[in-house]
Amino acid sequence: MSTNVKLIFLKILIAFSVVVALPAICPAKDYVITFVKETHKAETAGGAETAPRIYHTWAVKTEFGNKLLVLTGSDSVHRAWLREFTKDFDLFLAKVPEKDTGAFELNTVVEIDVKNLHPIDNSFLEDTDKKKKK
């Protein structure tokens, strides 16, 4: 085969592998949510040696209506970090696994891993809006 044919074949092979592999690499959908209110409670059932059970929910607004997010997962560092961000930011990105997107869009109460929530700096969006108006 000539070099040009090999190059074309290689490009087709790469394009095909990207189309096939990309959904497997990124099996999540992103939703912008507006934080409204938080409920957080830690309970210890068996004494000091038992890890506390965390009850943590967020009331949020989404493009699909108001939702109650039940934050799951045991990453207490990320959870504390998020709680700090809620003091200054109200926009967050919720990364919802593809298998759960239907439930997120239709249900009012949705469980989500705490590591799938990420703050969005509102000033970034405001700067973008200002540039568009000029």
- Counts for the chain of helices (H) and strands (E), in that order: 4, 6
Per the DSSP assignment, residues forming a β-bridge with 95 are 30
Q: Mind listing the pLDDT tens digit for each residue in 29-81?
A: 999 999 999 998 877 766 666 667 778 899 999 999 999 999 998 888 998 89
Query: Quick check: 100 pLDDT over 60?
Result: yes
Beta-carbon contacts of 94 under 8 Å, excluding residues fewer than 6 positions away, are: 30, 31, 32, 33, 69, 104, 112, 116, 117
Structural fold of domain 28-133: OB fold (Dihydrolipoamide Acetyltransferase, E2P) (2.40.50)
Percent of the chain with pLDDT over 90: 43
Q: CA 3, CA 89: separation in Å to the nearest integer?
A: 55
| 8-state DSSP, 66 | E
Query: Can you tell me the mean pLDDT for 95-121?
Result: 93
Q: Please state, in angstroms and rounded to a whole number, the distance separating the CA atoms of residues 61 and 64.
A: 8
What was the pLDDT predicted at 134? 56
Instruction: Note the pTM of the prediction, 2 decimals.
Output: 0.68
Single-letter amino acid, residue 91: L
Q: Can you tell me the distance from the alpha carbon of 55 to that of 115, in angstroms, rounded to the nearest whole number?
A: 16
Return d(Cα 29, Cα 102) in angstroms, integer. 11
Using an 8 Å Cβ cutoff, are 73 and 81 in contact?
no
- Residue 129, pLDDT > 80, answer no
At 23 the pLDDT is 47
**Domain assignments of the chain as residue spans, ordered by start:** 28-133
